[in-house]
Amino acid sequence: MTAVHEFPMARTCPFAPPTAYAEIREEEPVTRVRLPEGKQAWVVSRHEDVRTVLNDRRFSADRQHPDFPQLVPGFRRPDDERTMITMDAPEHGPARKAVLGEFTVRRMEALRPRIQEIVDERIDALLAGPKPGDLVETLSLPVPSLVICEMLGVPYADHDFFQTHTAKLIKRGTPPQERRAAVEAVREYMSDLIAGKEANPPDDLLGRQIVKLREEGTYRRASLAATGFLLLVAGHETTANMISLGTVGLLENPEQLALITADPGKTLDAVEELLRYFTIVDAATARLCVEDAEVGGQLIRAGEGVLALGYAANRDPGAFAAPDELDIERGARHHVAFGFGPHQCLGQNLARMELQIVFDTLFRRIPDLKLAAPVDDLPFKDDAAIYGLYRLPVTW
């Protein structure tokens, strides 16, 4: 019998998944691992198999279930705080549909001028600040935070508060008590904010939800607070990390960067490829098998946990030729960096647009941008559920 691997596995290169992923994918693409809390789960590593798991009703997203394969201990929440990301059919569809209209391509296009303005202001601040400057603090974190705050109707002045708590939530080593306290703090904050909007709902996402849900007779403050919480956290931390990593990825591959500076029409392709290349949300796409299913020739039984490894899938040579190379012209749109199936990222149109505007503007306005530290010295987030960078010193 093959040995059970420990999970998560360590990386040896900041630009690649753990080397064990390639071995697993070749030799035993559906295999057992031991999770930090001691439980075992399956990992699925091939592109095709990852898509199967994420798109099959026999695999549940119910993170509250006691058998759900938790990577971060103590992550369970009370039932009335459930959001779409932990729901299955038939509840999931209506919960997602309630906010889907806020994230359509058309809605996002309407935000483009404002996002451009925000990006320009942050680059002004970077240029006016000391050299070297920290790209994370000046650009990567503020851009998506400002955008999601304005969309939701959350005062950006509170960003220190929610960014600090989010950082605790995604760090694997945060003790369960502290994690719970962080969840409670943000939830209470969101609930108070929403309470303040109830008397006269403003024309922001939360205000519009109050009106709409009241009309439907389904308005509950706690439930809207949970959705607001999800959107606030998912809306800034992910894109922020992709801005930092994408910048490093392009600076380290100058011939690829030259393609987009010569032709900004290629930036969206670069965004897709960078999303694939870094796959910042890897094992967080976990599921619980609720009905026996065969995946990649392996029987998975009801009650067993499964980690659909997005990063292994996105480096699968069966789906992407020369997968370890950054090649913005490869046509990477079938990547699973935004997940796949019913839970595929709700904010993907927003994330794509933010990344496109940032990379276009950053390299146009600061063509001689460079890293102010060797890549090996950069503080990569090896200890977090979402990969990224804590700081990114740059100069020009």
Among 7, 162, 338, 380, contact with ligand HEM (rule: CB under 6 A): 338
Among 47, 96, 335, 381, contact with ligand HEM (rule: CB under 6 A): 96
What the block records as the tokens of 266 is: 């290629």
Residue nearest to ligand HEM (CB): 347
- Taking the complex as a whole, the smallest distance from the CB of residue 235 to ligand HEM amounts, in Å, to 3
> Which x/- pattern, by CB under 6 A, does the window 20-39 give for ligand HEM?
--------------------
- Taking the complex as a whole, the smallest distance from the CB of residue 131 to ligand HEM amounts, in Å, to 28
Residue 238 binds ligand HEM (CB under 6 A): yes
Q: Measured between alpha carbons, how far is residue 315 from residues 15, 48, 355 in Å?
A: 11, 12, 21
Alpha carbon dihedral 219, 220, 226, 230, in 10-degree steps, equals 0
Residue 337 binds ligand HEM (CB under 6 A): yes
The residues, ordered by sequence, that sit 6+ positions from 368 with a Cβ below 8 Å of its Cβ are 396
In the chain, what's the furthest Cα-to-Cα distance?
A: 64
Residue 347 binds ligand HEM (CB under 6 A): yes
- Taking the complex as a whole, the smallest distance from the CB of residue 227 to ligand HEM amounts, in Å, to 8
Residue corresponding to tokens 């992550």: 75
Q: What angle do CA 388, 46, 36 make, to 5 degrees?
A: 55
- Taking the complex as a whole, the smallest distance from the CB of residue 304 to ligand HEM amounts, in Å, to 17
Torsion region of 38: left, alpha or beta (phi above 0 gives left; psi -120 to 50 gives alpha): left
Residue 339, strand partner residues: none
Q: Report the residue number, 204 or 254, with the smaller CB distance to ligand HEM.
A: 204
- Taking the complex as a whole, the smallest distance from the CB of residue 231 to ligand HEM amounts, in Å, to 5
Q: Report the residue number, 132 or 212, with the smaller CB distance to ligand HEM.
A: 212
Residue 339 binds ligand HEM (CB under 6 A): yes
What the block records as the tokens of 207 is: 């205000």
Residue 345 binds ligand HEM (CB under 6 A): yes
Residue corresponding to tokens 């102010």: 372
Where helices occur in the chain by DSSP H, the ranges are 19-27, 47-54, 92-100, 105-128, 135, 142-152, 159-170, 176-198, 205-216, 221-251, 254-262, 267-278, 310-314, 348-365
> Which x/- pattern, by CB under 6 A, does the window 255-294 give for ligand HEM?
-------------------------xx---x---------
> Which x/- pattern, by CB under 6 A, does the window 196-235 give for ligand HEM?
----------------------------------xx--xx
Residue 174 binds ligand HEM (CB under 6 A): no
Residue 139 binds ligand HEM (CB under 6 A): no
- Taking the complex as a whole, the smallest distance from the CB of residue 242 to ligand HEM amounts, in Å, to 4
Q: Contacts from 128-135 at CB under 8 Å and sequence distance 24+?
A: 131/372, 131/395, 131/396, 132/372, 132/373, 132/393, 132/394, 132/395, 133/393, 133/394, 133/395, 134/391, 134/392, 134/393, 134/394, 135/243, 135/244, 135/247, 135/392, 135/393, 135/394
Subset of residues 48 to 67 that bind ligand HEM, contact rule: CB under 6 A: 54, 61
SS3 of 122, please? helix
* CA-based nearest residue to 48, from 56, 40, 39: 56
Q: Report the residue number, 29 or 235, with the smaller CB distance to ligand HEM.
A: 235
Among 141, 242, 312, 332, contact with ligand HEM (rule: CB under 6 A): 242
The residues, ordered by sequence, that sit 6+ positions from 94 with a Cβ below 8 Å of its Cβ are none
- Taking the complex as a whole, the smallest distance from the CB of residue 147 to ligand HEM amounts, in Å, to 8
Which residues are at the interface with ligand HEM (CB under 6 A)?
A: 54, 61, 84-85, 96, 148, 230-231, 234-235, 238-239, 242, 280-281, 285, 337-339, 343, 345-347, 350-351
